[in-house]
Structure 1
Amino acid sequence: MAKITLNFQKRLQQHSNHLVILSAILIVLGYLGKYGVNQIWIWNSTMIIASIIGFIPVAIHAYQAIKVKQISIDLLVSIAVIGALFIGEYEESAIVTFLFAFGGFLEKKTLEKTRSSIKELTNMAPSTALSADGEEMDIDEVEIGDKLLVKTGRQVPVDGRIYQGSGYVNEASITGESREIRKEAGTKVFAGSILENGTIYVEAEKVGEDTTFGKIIELVEEAQDTKSPAEKFIDRFAKYYTPAVLVIAAITWVFSYNLELAITILVLGCPGALVIGAPVSNVAGIGNGAKRGVLIKGGDVMNTFSHIDTLLFDKTGTLTKGNTEVVVVKNYGASKELIDAVASAENESDHPLATAVVRMIGKFNPIKFEKTDVVKGQGIIADNLLIGNEKMMVVNHITISPEQKQDITEITDSGASVVLVAADNRLQLIYGIADEIRSGVKESLEELRHEGISRMIMLTGDNETTAKAVATQLGIDEVRANLMPEEKAEVVKSLKNSGKKIAFIGDGVNDSPSLALANIGIAMGSGTDTAIETSDIVLMKSSFDELVHAYGLSKRTVANMTQNIVIAIVVVLFLLASLILGGTGLVPSFVNMGTGMFVHEASILIVIVNGMRLIRYREK
């Protein structure tokens, strides 16, 4: 029996649009029969058939809800339709079922449209790949380490690194921005991006759902199924509201003996606009972000982010590009062998300052060390070689001469970071390393202040002078420098405990504790997988324009949900009050089942249109 019911329901869903059209045709024929050719039997028969056609899907949904001990909107409509047919109000029952079905059709189409961003992403996922020999294969057959060929016009099938060839790649599927980026041997490429020009050979590093593109799809799909506080409120509201409407209708019938009035209360008490309003806003907002390279992981995140008043930033790789270059070298008698040792030790690290030193030194003779230690917040110790900041020199009792201190001050005053190198118990090298500030950051931070961010703080492991130089350029309120990862996390925790609504923005593994502790963690798309997975929001282009868009979008989405909830509740209360007062003769009666249902469905259309405005939202 259950299987027959399930199959029947599937068929109804497949032909739901046809049923709506058929109901509309029957209602029109009924009016033509009554007012065109004056045949009441045509009127009655067409309205009854239209009522039954519209009633069957509603009754099935009501029955399924009752099985799981829920009193749904469908139950209210079912009782109302049966009652209307019982008292001979065929026109009302037909119009109610038609409008209810038509409202469902609108809801379905709206959610499909708001989810179009995800469909577009899914359709962009690569389905095939070419082996290095040019043989086409299914994407599911590709494994990590496979060598693949990508020709002009084809999608990159995996996340990997180019080992031969070069070309221009469009990464719109990853960043949301359609522009060509030159890629050559040694650079990374991402699944879903398109090779616009050239030929490249790629070694697969991540495949399938583990690729950046696969994770984007997974994250956004999960986000759209995550409920916002507004939706959770509606669930709680509906749980008590629906039985309350049943009770009000029953009391009205008992005291007024007016069955038609009681039935009309059931119909017009259905909170359809309330049920659809918040999900439409939530899905439209998240879809808008996904289309523009901003991954917001759920309605709850959207709501929390809209109330953020304090932004905390990491510096290197977040406010700055992380493309560090050595701009000053102070040599106090360092030998070629020592410089080779520095390059060998720094080559083991992927820290931006270390890679800048290695890049500047260029070719070097590799040196093996017996013991290498990474000291958190200080630097590297390789045998008797110390490479790090001033703290490391002080801890290891390295004397810094007045001349050297003057050099360090001049470098840091210019906004550059310093890397100090000591060997044989004396300071022998100073590297001044500058990192370019991301373009548009200053303007974006001003926009964020305009939107409602009241305080901005930089948390960095860099020295205070360098950090303050960057903060001054960007107009950041406060700097906390020389921090280790756990100290950053403590600052986040302390500010949260003081009542501030905190968002932390970072890009590295060392930022993960702070990202997890903040009310909202925001990761740069260029950052590590750990940072991206720990965060609540991901900026795929690593652009502060995206941050401004995300903050503005969150505020508009939450406001949009609130508007929809208010519209829905006001309309339902107005209809019920008009019905009850009109039925008792206290005010003129102008709301009946037909006009009330029209207003009811119009309110659904209004909240849908209001929610869909978010699809086109773009921060100026």
Structure 2
Amino acid sequence: MFAFIHKNKKTITFGAGILLILAFIVNMMGYQDLRQSILIIVTIIAGIPIAVKAFQALRMRAFSIEMLVTIAVIGALFIGEYVESAVVTFLFLFGDYLEVRTLEKTRSSLKGLVDMAPQEATLIRGETTVTVPVEEVIEGDRVVIRTGGKVPVDGRIVNGHASLNEAAITGESVPASKKLGDKVFGSTVIDSGYIEIIAEKVGDDTTFAKIIELVEEAQESKSKTEKFLNKFANVYTPTVVALSVVVYVLTRDLHLAITFLVIACPGALIIGAPVSSVAGIGNGAKNGVLIKGGEVMDRFSKVDTLVFDKTGTLTKGKPEVTAIKALGVYPEQELLQLVAQAEMASEHHLGQTIVKEAKSRDILLGEQPQSVKVIKGNGLAAVVAEKRLVIGNRKLMNTEQIDISSEAEAYAIKREKAGNTAIFAAIDGKVAGIFSIADQIREDAVPALAQMRANGIKKIVMLTGDNQHTAELVAHALGLDEFHAELLPEDKVAHVKKLKQQGHVVAMAGDGVNDAPVIATADIGLAMGEGGTDISMETADVVLMADKLMQFSHAYSLSKATIRNMKQNTFFAVGIVGVLLAGVLMGSIHLASGMFIHEASVLIVILNGMRLLGFNKKKKQASKSLEPVNGGI
């Protein structure tokens, strides 16, 4: 029976509405007895779903709004107020229908994401191409995508080039150019071109599948306000029943007591917070920002201090080798070959930059290095062609007791003051060369940080493992409040803990890989990484899919707007209930009219929450006086 009622609730609602209209038509024709019968039928038809929900809640030891309405309707039938019993049950059901419809709209961003998922993939198998359901693609398959086609899985391009619309992943509609070796993500669309990719992540492991999973989980999670309101309802409902009994005892007016009971229903109060939370999270998903739930949104809105990693966060994360200084017996090309071969074992962006430089010069890298030892935050040691290489910063050279000559030190300082990161390369215990690597400050860094300051951020700090000179250049260019350089991951954690102890609410933004410990330590961990790495999705509270600081600004503004909207709904709902109850006690508001106003207030808070779906801080331009920062750092 429960399943039948739930499945046909819409039909029951509109059937009751039609019968209610018929009752008023019959009344105008003078058939009073028939009108009474129709009103009783309406009350029963519309009242059963309400009573069923009240019973289900009671079985779970919860006192629901439906229980208040059920008690009030039974009382109205008892005293012969058939018009009011019929109108109240219909309005309650109709209000519930509107709530469901509007909540579905607030979840439209998730439905839109699901609809973007590709259904088929074209594979190259042997000498032929075959089209298979996307579920049948396995890792290692060679997949073909042509103009207008959707990329079915995550992978790397092994042939061709194309312009891809990555809005499904990043929220950005501007096409991105992809070439040989670049990574592509499932559910992105080829605007023009042709590519062949090797499948690396399939099914539920794709970035797109994880986005859907995260948004689903986030929309189901509750904020502190929602959790409080759920507990409040369990106390509020029996309190209202008790107060209505007191009203009856004092006035001996059963009609007034029943009216008091119905009007006190906190429907708008209960629905106001969830609709704001769901709409805010939906807006974030639409704009490439994954916010993991209402509680995260609440904490994020209170942040007053931002902490950034440098590389890949304040800078583009696409460093380039700007110079190679050979200091020993090995010429530049041979030095690059040995160092790049050692760095093949590294996942660090600076190591991969050296590998990329060697490949761009068509240098053959050969077999994998041996005896690799990664020293986190400092560099690595490895054996290549029977030579022991130590590659990293000054700390690593000192730890390994490798002397840095005055010539090498002077050259390194000169390069660092020019905005480069100096990487020392030692072979068999002697410094053989220095690699200069430079990155670029993000174009949107200055306006994004200015927006966040305008929205309430009081302090911006940079923590980096890079050298003091480069860190100082970036901090000065961006107008940061403070910076700390040459830090290990544990040093960054200590700095964030210190800020929290000082009373700051801290958000930490990093690349989601090396910064995972400090991201987890902050009040809000925010990961910036192209497409979002696995570890960033797991560790961070907020993930920026387009890897842009303006998305960070949008996320922060959105969190504040969402919590503000939630408070508006709460205050409005409480105010309406207060006004209605005062009107009931003064005799100016009756059962049917009060119920109509009550349901209208529910609709208003829902519509107010839905405004968040159109919130887009990114469209608001920064001050014209703020110019993007360009050039090497």
TM range (shorter): over 0.9
1:547 matched to 2:552? The reply is yes
CA shift, 1:259, in A, is 0.9
Identify unmatched segments of 5+ residues in structure 1: 583-588
The alignment partner of 1:371 has SS state of strand
Aligned partners of 1:367, 1:48: CA distance in 2, in Å?
85
**Which residue among 391, 394, 398 is the counterpart of 2:398?**
394
Are the counterparts in 1 of residues 330 and 432 from structure 2 also a CA contact under 8 Å?
Answer: no
1:280 matched to 2:304? The reply is no
The alignment partner of 1:135 has SS state of strand
CA shift, 1:364, in A, is 4.4
The alignment partner of 2:139 has SS state of coil
**Which residue among 87, 96, 120 is the counterpart of 1:95?**
87
1:518-561 residue CA offsets vs partner (Å, 9 max, x unmatched) = 11110114253112211011100001111111000000100111
Structure 2 counterpart of 1:422, which letter? A
1:74 matched to 2:37? The reply is no
Partner of 1:556 in structure 2? 561
Aligned partners of 1:198, 1:479: CA distance in 2, in Å?
44
1:453-487 residue CA offsets vs partner (Å, 9 max, x unmatched) = 11111111111111111111111111111111122
Structure 2 counterpart of 1:294, which letter? V
Aligned partners of 2:369, 2:350: CA distance in 1, in Å?
20
Are the counterparts in 1 of residues 345 and 368 from structure 2 also a CA contact under 8 Å?
Answer: no
CA shift, 1:73, in A, is 0.8
The alignment partner of 1:438 has SS state of coil
Deviation larger for 545-554 or 198-207: 198-207
1:25 matched to 2:18? The reply is yes
Deviation larger for 569-578 or 444-453: 569-578
Structure 1 counterpart of 2:140, which letter? G
Aligned partners of 2:599, 2:185: CA distance in 1, in Å?
46
Is the alpha carbon distance of 1:252 and 1:462 closer, same or farther for their aligned partners in structure 2, counting shifts above 3 Å?
same
Aligned-residue CA RMSD (Å) = 1.8
Are the counterparts in 1 of residues 337 and 364 from structure 2 also a CA contact under 8 Å?
Answer: yes
Q: Map of 1:308-457 to 2, 5 A cutoff?
A: 308-336=303-331, 337-361=334-358, 362=361, 363-364=363-364, 366=366, 371-383=371-383, 384-423=388-427, 425-457=429-461
Aligned partners of 1:367, 1:429: CA distance in 2, in Å?
22
1:223 matched to 2:221? The reply is no
The alignment partner of 2:577 has SS state of helix
Q: Map of 1:159-308 to 2, 5 A cutoff?
A: 159-308=154-303
CA shift, 1:255, in A, is 2.8
1:49 matched to 2:47? The reply is no
Give % identity: 48
Structure 2 counterpart of 1:382, which letter? A
Aligned partners of 2:304, 2:602: CA distance in 1, in Å?
34
1:42-95 residue CA offsets vs partner (Å, 9 max, x unmatched) = 332222222122111101111111112211111110111111111111111111
**Which residue among 507, 512, 516 is the counterpart of 2:511?**
507
Are the counterparts in 1 of residues 421 and 436 from structure 2 also a CA contact under 8 Å?
Answer: yes
TM-score norm. by structure 1 comes to 0.94
Are the counterparts in 1 of residues 326 and 335 from structure 2 also a CA contact under 8 Å?
Answer: no
Structure 1 counterpart of 2:262, which letter? V
The alignment partner of 2:374 has SS state of strand
1:392-413 residue CA offsets vs partner (Å, 9 max, x unmatched) = 2233343334443332222111
CA shift, 1:369, in A, is 5.5
Deviation larger for 119-128 or 240-249: 119-128
Structure 1 counterpart of 2:527, which letter? A
Partner of 1:467 in structure 2? 471
Aligned partners of 1:396, 1:45: CA distance in 2, in Å?
95
The alignment partner of 2:129 has SS state of coil
The alignment partner of 2:118 has SS state of coil
Partner of 2:30 in structure 1? 38
Are the counterparts in 2 of residues 51 and 97 from structure 1 also a CA contact under 8 Å?
Answer: yes
TM-score norm. by structure 2 comes to 0.92
Aligned partners of 1:372, 1:55: CA distance in 2, in Å?
73
The alignment partner of 2:515 has SS state of helix
Deviation larger for 135-144 or 79-88: 135-144
Are the counterparts in 2 of residues 523 and 532 from structure 1 also a CA contact under 8 Å?
Answer: yes
1:495 matched to 2:493? The reply is no
The alignment partner of 1:380 has SS state of strand
Are the counterparts in 2 of residues 159 and 191 from structure 1 also a CA contact under 8 Å?
Answer: yes
CA shift, 1:29, in A, is 2.6
Are the counterparts in 2 of residues 524 and 532 from structure 1 also a CA contact under 8 Å?
Answer: no
Identify unmatched segments of 5+ residues in structure 2: 621-633
Is the alpha carbon distance of 1:339 and 1:63 closer, same or farther for their aligned partners in structure 2, counting shifts above 3 Å?
closer
Aligned partners of 2:367, 2:100: CA distance in 1, in Å?
66
1:229-287 residue CA offsets vs partner (Å, 9 max, x unmatched) = 11011011111000000101112222322111111111111111011111110110000
Structure 2 counterpart of 1:99, which letter? L
Deviation larger for 405-414 or 68-77: 405-414
1:114 matched to 2:101? The reply is no
Aligned partners of 1:490, 1:606: CA distance in 2, in Å?
47
Aligned partners of 1:432, 1:26: CA distance in 2, in Å?
81
Partner of 1:585 in structure 2? none
Structure 1 counterpart of 2:121, which letter? A
Structure 2 counterpart of 1:341, which letter? L
Q: Map of 1:474-493 to 2, 5 A cutoff?
A: 474-493=478-497
Count of paired positions: 605
The alignment partner of 1:509 has SS state of coil
1:427-459 residue CA offsets vs partner (Å, 9 max, x unmatched) = 332222110112211110010000011111111
Is the alpha carbon distance of 1:115 and 1:369 closer, same or farther for their aligned partners in structure 2, counting shifts above 3 Å?
closer
The alignment partner of 2:156 has SS state of strand
Structure 2 counterpart of 1:376, which letter? K
Partner of 1:567 in structure 2? 572
